[in-house]
Structure 1
Amino acid sequence: MRRISKLTRAAVGVASLALAATACGGTSDQADKPESKDSNKGLAIAYDIGGKGDQSFNDAAYAGLEKAKKKFGYETQDVEPTDGETDADKEQRLASLAKQGYNPVIGVGFAYGTAMEKVAKKYPDTSFGIVDSVVKGDNVASLVFAENEASYLAGVAAAKATKTNVVGFVGGVDIPLIHKFEAGFKQGVEDTNSKVKVLSQYLTQTAEEGGFSSPDKGKAAAEGQIEKKADVVYQAAGLSGQGVIEAAATAKVWAIGVDSDQYAQEALAKYKDYILTSALKDVGGAVYALAESVEAGQPLTGVQTFDLKVDGVGLAESNPKFKEIDGLADAVAKAKAGIIDGSIKVKTE
């Protein structure tokens, strides 16, 4: 066993992050080598469903790539997914990036799990990273987040902001990862005001049905909740979340964004006055942290957990209204302190 030293770096979208990681060393009898040993080839990322431009999860990863490119001055690459792709397609994409000499190679999203496990064994000299999933491998860093903690804070904010005592949650796909968002949100609402009702809806059962990539589905779901008097709607739905935000702004009720500070996103500027806050998930910071560790010659491996204690998740406060709503900012700050000191235990399901 070897312990990797604490790595401090400026995080993208949340705050500075310090993390300690434990990894097990090992070797592989696979011996595939990259075609290129060009030292200028650095970080490469393969996007999840929705691709670049989702103003959320994938764009946060891209921000981390851009930071690494600027800092280290090397060549980077980011690759879009294709509609209806298989694990074999993902495997080919990751293998191609490794073979070209990129290091590290990061799969953005749990959907890369099966493919990465296979490819990492074939390229033992390349460092790999996967966001939102745990993949075993001596050269793999699993970049996971305490989404439930950020969502708890979003629930506190929603309970403080609602006037109808009805709030909504829209999840992109009915999977355990998104259940973490819902669980934290519901608990935060209930702990703050037990009289507030939470309406929940998932857009699809599988990602292939478009739950993370269909703004029209998000819009329809939010409109249905608003018709039932929800005046705050929290979305964890990737690109589909843009439809939720549009519906909330049209109805002049609050939306709560996810992953990135969506109040600050240029593409959502016309809706910003109705984006109360966003549950932040520092995907960009995690991407950069792995790139930095590889550049330093001490690649992170094993499970890397980004939670409130290390500012890996959080809640945005960029909308001035956040601090103008009576008691909201104080309640969020108190809840954050409670989660960090352990007096508040946040559910994951």
Structure 2
Amino acid sequence: MEPGACKVPDRDRPPHWGTMTNRSRFLRASLLTLAALTGTAPAAAPATSVTLIFDPAGPWDKAVNESAGGGLERAVREHGMPYDTVTSADQNDMLSRARAAARSGSTLVIGVGRASAGALSKAAGEFPKVRFVGVDALPGGANTVGLRFREQEGGFLAGFLAANVTSTRVLGVITGAEDATARKYRAGFEAGVTLACPDCRVLRASLPRGGNMVGAASLARGQYARGADIILAAVGAGNRGVVTAATAVQCLRASRLPAGVRFHADPYRNVPRSDPYRAECHGNTRPVFAIATESSLDAPGDTDVDRKTLNHTLTSVLKRADNAVFTLVDEVAKGRPWRAGDRTFGVENGGIELSMGDFNAALVPPALRAKLTKVQRMIVNGVVKVPVQ
């Protein structure tokens, strides 16, 4: 990410922020206690009151819900507005909770999840003086905003990275059937691969509607068997199945590569392996990897307790819902003009990034990170036009 590309002051969200409702009550109680001790009245309550409604995955999903919650807490720390958080059971419950929040005095109601658009649109029509925000969704109405993401840019960075370190020049991508967001990931991934390695090819597979982790793992095993050594997982909750397949397969063997596929490079020959990996993958072999989307699955790709040994999640494409939510709430708290409609977040404004940390430090060396920074700059400057399908 280019320095200064994101205007959010603190992009590092805490891993846990506790029960928000309780912390909100604690904040208000602390202000009253301070007033009693000093004999002064607390400052007037801020005009903005926020309710954040998580989708059924809940606040600790390690994905968009959790990230959105982190962004709200950051805004609360900065502006001190009252807030509440609830988890919806389904879309009917999302509507009920949005209505309840509006009736109780919330001036800003934020719903998380792609399926939240309908409920938020209906509530917005019933409460025209309340502002409604969809995270990863685009509700309708003059009092609504959709905070959405340019997933194709994350896919592009992932494809560029994968093409730089593939040993077979065969890569894979698994998407959910009829999933428009997954198609954006795939389009970006394939374009990123082409930029870095025009001779590489990308295998495609789709998980049927209602598919699960087992189905995703089966598709991934099939692509590894066809010579793919890195697979982009864009199947939502099924992403973990692709990572599980990578940790189970561990490596490709030269003796079992399909016709027309061979090893072209060995970029990770000097990365330490765990004992189980060395026992299973000796001789002329190369490791396999998964790339997760939507959330970080770096930890599940680690097969031992040593992060310095080779792990099987190359990276994860992260949606920085925390930055998007913080930006929106910060604008409202400061009284900035309301801009209804679609607000997109990508590489330029801190909405999309690849995870980089202890789990993949040995997999993405500094020279390759420098290349990724240049590609990010190309995206921001419009030199690269990333396709959406």
User: Once the two structures are aligned, what percentage of the paired residues are identical?
Assistant: 30
User: Counterpart in 2 of 1:343?
Assistant: 383
1:305 matches 2:344: yes
Compute the displacement of 1:73 (Å).
4.1
1:127–1:79 Cα change, 3 Å = same
Asked if structure 1 preserves the Cα contact closer than 8 Å seen for 2:71 and 2:321, the reply is yes
1:152–1:139 Cα change, 3 Å = same
1:56 matches 2:63: yes
Unaligned runs of 5+ in 2: 1-5, 14-44, 251-287
Q: Which moved more, 1:277-286 or 1:249-258?
A: 249-258
Asked if structure 1 preserves the Cα contact closer than 8 Å seen for 2:48 and 2:332, the reply is no
- Highest RCO, 1 vs 2 (Cα 8 Å, sep ≥ 6): 1
TM-score normalised by structure 1 residue count: 0.77
Please give the per-residue CA displacement for 1:75-133, whole angstroms capped at 9, x wherever unaligned: 54333343xx4x54432232122223334211212211222111112122222111233
1:20-31 alignment, distance < 5 Å? none
User: Counterpart in 1 of 2:255?
Assistant: none
User: Counterpart in 2 of 1:291?
Assistant: 329
User: Counterpart in 1 of 2:9?
Assistant: 10
User: Counterpart in 2 of 1:323?
Assistant: 364
1:105–1:284 Cα change, 3 Å = same
Please give the per-residue CA displacement for 1:284-328, whole angstroms capped at 9, x wherever unaligned: 111122222222233553321212222322223322124338x63
User: Counterpart in 2 of 1:314?
Assistant: 353
- For 1:224 and 1:67, the matched residues in 2 are separated by 43
1:195 corresponds to which of 182, 199, 205: 199
- For 1:302 and 1:247, the matched residues in 2 are separated by 40
User: Counterpart in 2 of 1:280?
Assistant: 318
User: Counterpart in 1 of 2:109?
Assistant: 105
How many residue pairs are counted as aligned between the two chains? 308
Where 1:245 maps in the other structure, the secondary structure is: helix
1:167 corresponds to which of 165, 171, 179: 171
TM-score normalised by structure 2 residue count: 0.70
Please give the per-residue CA displacement for 1:262-297, whole angstroms capped at 9, x wherever unaligned: 43x6x7765772222222221111112222222223
1:254 corresponds to which of 289, 300, 313: 289
Asked if structure 2 preserves the Cα contact closer than 8 Å seen for 1:248 and 1:254, the reply is yes
Compute the displacement of 1:335 (Å).
2.0
1:269–1:44 Cα change, 3 Å = farther
1:178 matches 2:213: no
Where 1:106 maps in the other structure, the secondary structure is: strand
- For 1:165 and 1:175, the matched residues in 2 are separated by 27
- For 1:79 and 1:218, the matched residues in 2 are separated by 31
> What residue identity is the alignment partner of 1:339?
I
- For 1:227 and 1:77, the matched residues in 2 are separated by 49
Please give the per-residue CA displacement for 1:8-27, whole angstroms capped at 9, x wherever unaligned: 4236469xxxxxxxxxxxxx
Q: Which moved more, 1:188-197 or 1:47-56?
A: 47-56
Please give the per-residue CA displacement for 1:137-188, whole angstroms capped at 9, x wherever unaligned: 2221111221111210100011112112222222245222221111101111
Kindly report the root-mean-square deviation, in angstroms, between the aligned alpha carbons of the 2 structures: 2.9
Larger Rg: 2
1:117 matches 2:117: no
1:233 corresponds to which of 223, 231, 234: 231
1:261–1:317 Cα change, 3 Å = same
Unaligned runs of 5+ in 1: 1-6, 15-37
> What residue identity is the alignment partner of 1:254?
F
Asked if structure 2 preserves the Cα contact closer than 8 Å seen for 1:155 and 1:188, the reply is yes
- For 1:303 and 1:309, the matched residues in 2 are separated by 16
